[in-house]
Amino acid sequence: MEMTPVSSTNLASVGYDPTTHVLCIEFRNGGVYEYYNVPESEYQGLMSASSKGAYHHQHIKGRYSYSRIT
């Protein structure tokens, strides 16, 4: 999955696979998480949000199943 660097104090990069609906987020602390069954609209919302960390906290964290991959 191609990861795109983002401007955020909390998130380092974000990737999304529209065929599997997997959202991948790399955090600045080094953790990488995959979130499952995420609609593409959520990915677009995250990428266009002025605060990506706040968007993640309000719209993604706790709403989708996930796995820490590193």
pLDDT at 58: 98
pLDDT at 45: 98
Global pTM value: 0.96
Q: What is the mean pLDDT of residues 11-33?
A: 98
Q: What is the mean pLDDT of residues 12-35?
A: 98
Q: Report the chain's mean pLDDT, rounded to a whole number.
A: 97
Token pair 């990428």 in the structure block, residue: 47
Residue 52 to residue 20: CA distance in whole angstroms: 22
DSSP secondary structure code for residue 40 in this structure = H
